[in-house]
Amino acid sequence: MANFDEYHSFLVVGLARSGVAVSALLASHGHAVSVYDDDPQAMARFADSEVARDFKQRVVTLSRQDAAVAATRSDCVVVSPGVPMEHPLIVAARGAGVPVIGEIEAAWHYTRARIVGVTGTNGKSTTVGVIGEILAAAGDDVVVAGNVGTPLADVLRERDPHTLVLELSSFQLDTIDQFRVDVAVLLNVTPDHLDRYQRSMAKYAASKARILNRAGEETWYVYNAEDAAAVRIASGHRGPVVPFSSMRSLDRGVFFDGGAVVRVWDGQRVEVIRRGEFTPAGIHNLENALAAIAAVIPLGVDLASIRSALRAYRALPHRMEMVRVVDGVAYINDSKATNVDAAIKSLMSVEGPVVVILGGRDKDGDFAALVPQLGRVKRAVLIGEASTAIRAALTGHCEMADAGDMRDAVNTARAATAPGDTVLLAPACASFDMFKNYQDRGETFRACVNAL
């Protein structure tokens, strides 16, 4: 990619939140911006948006035909994470030698903040949230952004903070070039989104490894010592590393030992916090806390700030969220468990007999991997497009029942419970077959439970 400062005309492809945000940021810096989306409704919304009104001299919407021309003649194309690289406009741009980048890359050129970047298959949102709370408790001027919800471009239109904590998806990392972080955090690499990576775990892992794009000897790498891909990446990193583990003690790093989170660094062993003081449930949330504690080691945060932030932290919605207890049965919403590995950790985190609601849109998940966790499962209630595949994988290992919608699923689950049981929504699938997103799915589950 050439010098970003030499680009003057941009085509933005995809007008979801990040596409709109980067259009506004680029226009605010005086660039000529053309925008396009395959969805006519998205185009109409943009045309009626504040961004289109505020920058009507610099931002224009294009027809598909005009966008095809712009793709080959613009200085740079900015693609939204939801747009596949096989999209004809992206293929045309690359064929013409036009650089194709994402919103993260484009926005990064307008910040001088120190950056903590967090990626991984599961746990990103919680981890960036905890890091943000720790830094805020320490008095830092910090903003959490990225895939967690607020586009980086939106943040930088308002101000440039001292520290940015960015959640970075594999799709966002696929479209970076010069972007780099000061602290890179890799939580885990397990099968997910393989439909976008030609069903190749190697390609998916390579995408996650781009968190260390342009890393130098000054770049810190924080990684899960129990994740094979993360460990392999550590072996090739030139800069300082901080491992973390929920399964064993480490000579150096952050780990869980004897009911406490322990940090060993600079020859000092310190008990940071007891397990019960960090309230979000589940082994995966413990791992997220370990990662956050490890991530702030390079930033020199004091222990008092770390402890106060961890004690005050509350889980995000749809992540092992206790909805309510009905007739002695706990109903837990883990709609964010959108892949098999996340569902496994959900099941591991619940004590006692469980009725689990599984299903949605399959992302090439290995549902047979759920089998070792089915010993306490009284019934699996199956919903959505993946029902047939899940049933085939779990037949003979637990009782199963089909449900037509979420209300039916909750009622079917309830019928199999007794006081002391748990009904767990841990779908192991994407939500888009029946819902707008995982939040919509979780909110529907919550509403159905509250209606009992």
Reply yes or no on domain 8-98 having CATH 3.40.50.720: yes
The predicted-structure confidence for 12-60, as pLDDT tens digits, reads as follows 999 999 999 999 999 999 999 999 999 999 999 999 999 999 999 999 9
CATH fold match for the domains 8-98 and 106-312: no
Q: Are the CB atoms for 184 and 219 separated by under 8 Å?
A: yes
Joined tokens for residue 45: 């919304």
The residue whose two tokens read 């916090």 is 273
> Residue 326 — pLDDT band, cuts 50, 70, 90?
very high
Q: Are the CB atoms for 20 and 49 separated by under 8 Å?
A: yes
Give the integer Cα–Cα distance in Å for 64 and 109. 29
Give the integer Cα–Cα distance in Å for 225 and 245. 6
The 10 Å CB-count burial string (b at 16+, else e) for 269-282 is eeebbeeeebebbb
* Residue 393 main-chain phi, psi, to 5 deg: -75, -30
Q: Are the CB atoms for 382 and 390 separated by under 8 Å?
A: yes
What integer pLDDT is reported at residue 315 of this predicted model?
A: 77
Tell me, yes or no, if 193 is annotated catalytic.
yes
What does the domain layout of the chain look like in residue ranges?
Answer: 8-98, 106-312, 321-450
Q: What is the CATH number of domain 106-312?
A: 3.40.1190.10
What integer pLDDT is reported at residue 199 of this predicted model?
A: 65
Instruction: Say what percent of the chain tops pLDDT 70.
Output: 98
Tell me, yes or no, if 147 is annotated catalytic.
yes
Tell me, yes or no, if 363 is annotated catalytic.
no
Our measurement of the distance from residue 419's CA atom to the centroid of its chain's CA atoms, rounded to an integer in Å, reads 34
Catalytic entry in 122, 147, 285, 333: 147
Q: Are the CB atoms for 156 and 111 separated by under 8 Å?
A: yes
309 pLDDT higher than 80: yes
Among 419, 425, 420, which residue's Cα sits nearest to residue 446? 425
Mean pLDDT, rounded, for 385-394 = 98
Catalytic entry in 193, 203, 237, 397: 193
Range from 167-176, 196-205, 266-275 carrying the lowest mean pLDDT: 196-205
Give the integer Cα–Cα distance in Å for 322 and 279. 12
What integer pLDDT is reported at residue 55 of this predicted model?
A: 95
What integer pLDDT is reported at residue 257 of this predicted model?
A: 94
> Residue 340 — pLDDT band, cuts 50, 70, 90?
very high
207 pLDDT higher than 70: yes
Catalytic entry in 8, 31, 122, 124: 124
The CATH homologous superfamily of the domain defined by 321-450: Mur ligase, C-terminal domain (3.90.190.20)
Walk across the sheet containing 377-383 and list its strands.
Answer: 321-326, 329-333, 422-425, 354-359, 377-383, 400-402
The predicted-structure confidence for 46-105, as pLDDT tens digits, reads as follows 999 999 999 999 999 999 999 999 999 999 999 999 899 999 999 999 999 999 999 999
194 pLDDT higher than 80: no
Runs of H (alpha helix) within 250-359: 283-295, 303-312, 340-349
What integer pLDDT is reported at residue 201 of this predicted model?
A: 83
> Residue 193 — pLDDT band, cuts 50, 70, 90?
low
Mean pLDDT, rounded, for 242-263 = 96
What integer pLDDT is reported at residue 40 of this predicted model?
A: 96
Q: What is the pTM of this model?
A: 0.85
> Considering the chain, what is the average pLDDT of its residues?
95
